[in-house]
Amino acid sequence: MARVADVVSETARAKSLLLDPPDWAGHLAGQHVDVRLTADDGYQAQRSYSIASAPEDEHLQLTIERIEDGEVSPYLTDDLHPGDELELRGPIGGYFVWRESLGGPVLLVAGGSGVVPLRAILRHHRAAKSDIPVRLVYSARTQADLLYREELESFDTVITLTREEWSGHTGRVGRDLLEEAAWPLADHPLVYVCGPTGFVEGVADALVAIGHAANRIRTERFGPA
């Protein structure tokens, strides 16, 4: 069980949980945990959530986007308070992680809440004082939907909005934006793509079409439970 140290509002639909799991052995940037809820009648529901914090951070952080008809996210975003406890399993995953020994340059491509594990990678990169180039391409619907906006703007970040006109990029992440934002092919960049299934497949296909090596593209996708 992990104690909730704080609950932070990120957007109108998303909150971050700062957790203190006992005897936490640490995690790698890009891993996730399983959260399990148990009702009074014994019914259980479990969901996987990416870790938003770097291994070096004081608290384990999960950022949860509320799904209106969800079984788990409404409780986590609306009913959980500091001092409450949460059942966790993890950390989980060894493929979608970045450590400095993997090299780069690194291109991170996020769709919506897919930015969560990529933010952990950015934070770890900074904490490690790595000189490996890293850049984030982040797609969201509107400015109000952007997670960690102020923090991410302190990194090398390219933002595009799909449902709002603004002074920056607009439209989906496609070949043109990737050709503009990606590191040169000659540098053999390592790419991490996270978001809804359709987004991830579209971005991965576009990267391969541009000439990126498929074995240098790591993907993580999510969808309805």
CATH number at 161 reads 3.40.50.80
Please check whether residues 106 and 88 belong to one and the same domain.
no
* pLDDT of 221 above 60: yes
Q: What are 48-102's pLDDT values in tens digits? A: 999 999 999 999 999 999 988 888 999 999 999 999 999 999 999 999 999 999 9
* pLDDT of 126 above 60: yes
- Residue 145 banded pLDDT, cuts 50, 70, 90: very high
CB atoms within 10 A of CB 204: 19
**115 and 147 in contact (C-beta within 8 Å)?**
yes
Q: Among residues 92, 117, 138, which one ends one of the domains?
A: 92
Q: What domain range is 22 assigned to?
A: 2-92
Please check whether residues 20 and 78 belong to one and the same domain.
yes
In three-state secondary structure terms, 26 is: coil
pLDDT, residue 40, reads 81
Beta strands in the chain (DSSP E): 2-9, 14-20, 32-38, 44-50, 60-65, 85-92, 106-111, 134-140, 157-161, 169-170, 190-196, 217-222
Please check whether residues 122 and 181 belong to one and the same domain.
yes
pLDDT more than 90, % of the chain? 90
Please check whether residues 126 and 42 belong to one and the same domain.
no
- Residue 182 banded pLDDT, cuts 50, 70, 90: very high
Distance (Å, whole) CA 58 – CA 42: 33
Q: Across-strand partners of 15?
A: 9, 64
Please check whether residues 79 and 20 belong to one and the same domain.
yes
Per the structure, the count of domains in the chain is 2
Q: What are 10-51's pLDDT values in tens digits? A: 999 999 999 999 989 899 999 999 999 988 888 899 999 999
Q: Among residues 50, 67, 92, which one ends one of the domains?
A: 92
- pTM listed for this prediction: 0.95
**Considering the chain, what is the average pLDDT of its residues?**
94
- 43 Cβ neighbours under 8 A, 6+ residues apart: none
Please check whether residues 61 and 104 belong to one and the same domain.
no
Please check whether residues 127 and 216 belong to one and the same domain.
yes
Please check whether residues 72 and 139 belong to one and the same domain.
no
Which residue type occupies 105? P
Please check whether residues 139 and 75 belong to one and the same domain.
no
Please check whether residues 57 and 152 belong to one and the same domain.
no
pLDDT, residue 225, reads 41
Mean pLDDT, rounded, for 189-197 = 97
Please check whether residues 82 and 116 belong to one and the same domain.
no
Q: Among residues 69, 92, 115, which one ends one of the domains?
A: 92
Please check whether residues 115 and 192 belong to one and the same domain.
yes
* pLDDT of 176 above 60: yes
Distance (Å, whole) CA 106 – CA 129: 15
pLDDT, residue 171, reads 95
pLDDT, residue 69, reads 85
Mean pLDDT, rounded, for 132-147 = 97
